[in-house]
């Protein structure tokens, strides 16, 4: 019986060595087993350098730093993924473009010869009206008879019918305000146009009569291409550092803005090709605004009306364009915007819109 005990003890020991799950008595033993059997580089140093605490601390710090760098790289990768980056390629294509047409008009119309006598009658009526309302006397030299003659250039376009200045449409005071009464041809359906400001009332009243006078002639009158007419508004003109050509200019009279000029109207002259952007390669103008030849009661402003438009387009200066005041330098930048539609999108639009 005594001889059998060692055999049983040896068998139990073998069973313990071949157990599938081994349990360690302490966390230190488990950690040593992990470090001795792992294939992770550097962790074995945490156990083998147990006698040297400085070396152990160094390898522990290096181990933690490696894990920190690993998670930092993971964070960068996931942030870039969730940002959904898009790769976009751009190509810049440059080619010469035709410079647009530019219309310049004075903000105060000139006196023109076919209706100069009628405007003189209106000036006398305005002088009497201001004297009766406010006791203000306008000197005659303020409303001098300075006119532009173009009847010889447009003999068939001037209406020779006699114009009658209606003195019944006069400025009167209406309960602390100033205005005038307008009626139809039968004298019925009348209404009063009143203004708080006397200056606004005078200007609107004068403009009403002035537009009746200008109705004798076409709304836009082609005028001479003589350089003397052009120099009254355009003192100097340069494009791309060279003097402008007058072959593609159009000079006309507008009933509201007076003398107007359109530069590069047709867009057929290669001189107006734009090859480079910038102020130096663009259009440079010196404009002359002279008030002595204008109608002071029609407008109290001075300057130039500018409109940039397409070639062979009628300029609607009353609704478009902008004003430039005299005595200042103004810089205007323009950019052409185009829309390119792919063939597939155009076909899809045709299905829905019935094109």
306 has which bridge partners? 104, 322
Give me the helix-helix angle, 116-134 and 198-214, nearest 10°.
Answer: 160
Per-residue exposure over 40-76, b if at least 16 CB sit within 10 Å of its own CB, e if not: eeebbbbbebeeeeeebeebeeebeeeeeeeeeeeee
Q: How far apart are CA 74 and CA 177, in angstroms?
A: 79
Judged by average pLDDT, the poorest of 43-52, 105-114, 164-173, 267-276 is 43-52
Residue-level pLDDT at 46:
64
Which residue did the predictor score with more confidence, 246 or 280? 280
Judged against a pLDDT cut of 60, whether residue 340 lies above it is answered with no
User: pLDDT band for position 152 (50/70/90)?
Assistant: very low
Residue-level pLDDT at 13:
54
Q: If you average pLDDT over each of 38-42, 113-117, 252-256, 332-336, which comes out highest? A: 332-336
Residue-level pLDDT at 103:
92
Residue-level pLDDT at 45:
65
Residues 6+ apart with CB under 8 A from 276: none
Q: What is the mean pLDDT of residues 69-85?
A: 92
Burial tier of 28 (Cβ tally within 10 Å: 0-12, 13-18, 19+): exposed
Percent of the chain with pLDDT strictly greater than 70: 67
Residue-level pLDDT at 148:
42
User: pLDDT band for position 96 (50/70/90)?
Assistant: confident
Judged against a pLDDT cut of 50, whether residue 117 lies above it is answered with yes
Residue-level pLDDT at 64:
87
Q: Which two tokens stand for residue 302?
A: 């001075």
Judged against a pLDDT cut of 80, whether residue 346 lies above it is answered with no
User: pLDDT band for position 167 (50/70/90)?
Assistant: confident
Which residue did the predictor score with more confidence, 91 or 348? 91
Residues 6+ apart with CB under 8 A from 225: 246, 249, 250, 251
- On the CB side of 293, how many CA atoms lie within 13 Å of its CA? 19
> Could you write out the DSSP letters of every residue in 67-94?
HHHHHHHHHHHHHHHHT-----------
261 has which bridge partners? 104, 251
Q: What is the mean pLDDT of residues 15-19?
A: 52
pLDDT digits (tens, 9 = 90+) for 270-289: 888 888 888 888 899 988 87
Burial tier of 14 (Cβ tally within 10 Å: 0-12, 13-18, 19+): exposed
Rg of the Cα atoms in the chain:
46
Judged against a pLDDT cut of 70, whether residue 197 lies above it is answered with yes
Query: Which of 39, 43, 35, 95 has its CA nearest to residue 66?
Result: 43
Q: What is the mean pLDDT of residues 106-127?
A: 75
Judged against a pLDDT cut of 60, whether residue 350 lies above it is answered with no
pLDDT digits (tens, 9 = 90+) for 213-237: 777 666 555 555 555 666 677 888 8
Q: Which two tokens stand for residue 285?
A: 């103008």
CB 257 within 8 A of CB 317: yes
- On the CB side of 168, how many CA atoms lie within 13 Å of its CA? 9
CB 216 within 8 A of CB 158: yes
Q: How far apart are CA 199 and CA 110, in angstroms?
A: 21
Q: Mean of the per-residue pLDDT values for the chain?
A: 74
Judged against a pLDDT cut of 60, whether residue 33 lies above it is answered with yes
Residues 6+ apart with CB under 8 A from 104: 233, 234, 260, 261, 262, 263, 285, 287, 304, 305, 306
Residue-level pLDDT at 352:
45
Residue-level pLDDT at 71:
93
């Amino acid at each position: 019986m005594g001889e059998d005990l060692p055999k049983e003890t040896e068998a139990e020991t073998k069973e313990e060595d071949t157990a599938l799950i081994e349990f360690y008595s302490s966390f230190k033993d488990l950690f040593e087993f992990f470090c001795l059997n792992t294939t992770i580089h550097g962790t074995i140093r945490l156990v083998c350098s147990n006698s040297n605490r400085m070396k152990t601390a160094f390898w522990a710090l290096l181990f933690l730093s490696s894990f920190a760098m690993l998670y930092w790289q993971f964070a960068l990768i996931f942030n870039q993924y969730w940002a959904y980056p898009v790769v976009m390629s751009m190509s810049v294509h440059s080619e010469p473009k035709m410079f647009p047409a530019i219309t310049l008009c004075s903000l105060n119309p000139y006196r023109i010869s076919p209706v100069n006598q009628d405007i003189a009658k209106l000036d006398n009526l305005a002088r009497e009206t201001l004297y009766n309302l406010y006791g203000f006397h306008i000197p005659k030299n303020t409303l001098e008879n300075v006119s532009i003659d173009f009847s010889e250039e447009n003999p068939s376009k001037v209406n020779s019918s006699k114009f009658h200045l209606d003195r019944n449409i006069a400025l009167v005071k209406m309960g602390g305000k100033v205005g005038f009464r307008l009626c139809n041809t039968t004298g019925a359906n009348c209404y009063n146009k009143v203004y708080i400001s006397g200056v606004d009332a005078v200007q609107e009243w004068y403009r009403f009569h002035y537009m009746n006078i200008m109705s004798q002639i076409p709304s836009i009158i082609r005028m001479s291409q003589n350089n003397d007419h052009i120099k009254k508004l355009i003192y100097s003109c340069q494009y791309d550092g060279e003097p402008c050509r007058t072959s593609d200019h159009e000079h006309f009279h507008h009933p509201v803005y007076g003398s107007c000029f359109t530069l590069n109207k047709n867009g057929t002259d290669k001189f107006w090709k734009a090859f480079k952007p910038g102020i130096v390669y663009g259009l440079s103008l010196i404009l002359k605004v002279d008030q002595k030849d204008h109608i002071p009661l029609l407008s109290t402003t001075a300057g130039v009306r500018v409109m940039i438009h397409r070639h062979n387009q009628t300029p609607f200066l009353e609704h478009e364009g902008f004003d430039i005041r005299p005595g200042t330098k103004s810089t205007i930048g323009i950019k052409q915007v185009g829309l390119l539609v792919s063939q597939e999108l155009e076909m899809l639009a045709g299905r829905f819109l019935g094109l």
